[in-house]
Amino acid sequence: MSLKSDAPFDVIAGEAQADSPLVFDSPHSWPHWPADVPTIAPTEALRTSCDAWVDEIWAAALQGRAPLLTARFHRSYIDANRARDDIDPALLAQPWPVSLHPSDRSRRGFGLLRRLALPGVPVYREPLAVTDVARRIERFYDPYHHQLAALIDAARPHHDAVLHINCHSMKSVGNAMNEDCGRPRPDIVLSDRDGQTAGAPVLGWMASALRERGYRVQFNDPYRGEEILRRHGCPRRGRYSVQIELRRDLYMDERCFERHSGFDRLVGDLKACVGLWLEEWPDGPRVGPALG
In this prediction the pTM is: 0.93
pLDDT for 184 = 82
Q: Where is pLDDT greater, at 17 or 262?
A: 262
- Residue 181 binned pLDDT confidence (cut-offs 50, 70, 90): low
Q: What is the Cα–Cα distance from 56 to 69, expressed in whole angstroms?
A: 11
* pLDDT tens track for 90-101: 999 999 999 999
250 Cβ contact list (under 8 Å, min separation 6): 187, 262, 266
Q: Is the pLDDT of residue 3 over 60?
A: no
Residues 88/94/95/98 CA torsion (nearest 10 deg): -90
Q: Tens of pLDDT along 69-112?
A: 999 999 999 999 999 999 999 999 999 999 999 999 999 999 99
DSSP H or E stretch at residue 106: helix 104-107
Nearest to 165 by CA among 184, 188, 136: 188
Q: What percent of the chain clears pLDDT 70, i.e. is strictly above it?
A: 92
Closest CA to 49 of 102, 105, 116: 116
List the beta bridge partners of residue 247.
170
The mean pLDDT value of the chain amounts to 92
Most confidently predicted of 1-10, 97-106, 280-289: 97-106
CA–CA distance, 249 with 284 (Å, rounded to integer): 31
Q: Nearest-CA neighbor of 67 among 146, 151, 132?
A: 151
Give the pLDDT of residue 282: 84
Tell me: the pLDDT tens digits for 32-58?
999 999 999 999 999 999 999 999 999
- pLDDT of 136 higher than 70: yes
At residue 2, the pLDDT reads 42
- In order of their start, the domains of the chain are 9-74+143-280 (3.40.630.40)
Give CA–CA dist 69/17, Å, rounded: 12
Structural contact between residues 168 and 251, judged by C-beta atoms closer than 8 angstroms: no
Nearest Cα to Cα of residue 244 among 265, 269, 264: 269
What pLDDT is recorded for position 180?
59
